[in-house]
Amino acid sequence: MKQKVFENIKKIRELKNLTRKYVAGELGMSNSGFGKIERGEVDLNVSKLIQIANVLDVSVDFIFRFDVDLFIKDNKKSFS
């Protein structure tokens, strides 16, 4: 579950076409520091997770529940 949260943060950022540099800047941290979050190399506290959700313009719950496979399936239906 823990690794899924880190992966979801990265996937959501990419789907929103936000750069790692942009998100890191909005969070007041270094690009490499945010990269460590996306790779799951650091423990993420609740306040930082809330800040990330705000920058990504999603809820914390959305980060936990996000499933890119469902997103892609829904979009494939739209293109059919």
Domain segments of the chain as ranges: 2-79
Q: For position 1, what pLDDT does the model report? A: 56
Q: For position 79, what pLDDT does the model report? A: 42
Could you list the pLDDT tens digit for every one of the 80 residues in the chain? 578 999 999 999 999 999 999 999 999 999 999 999 999 999 899 999 999 999 999 999 999 999 877 766 655 544 44
Q: Are 14 and 60 in contact (CB under 8 A)?
A: no
Token pair, residue 29, equals 């941290």
The greatest distance separating any two alpha carbons of the chain, rounded to the nearest whole angstrom, comes to 42
Q: For position 74, what pLDDT does the model report? A: 54
pTM: 0.83
Token pair, residue 13, equals 């950022």
CATH 1.10.260.40 fits 2-79, yes or no: yes
Token pair, residue 31, equals 């690009």
Q: For position 80, what pLDDT does the model report? A: 41
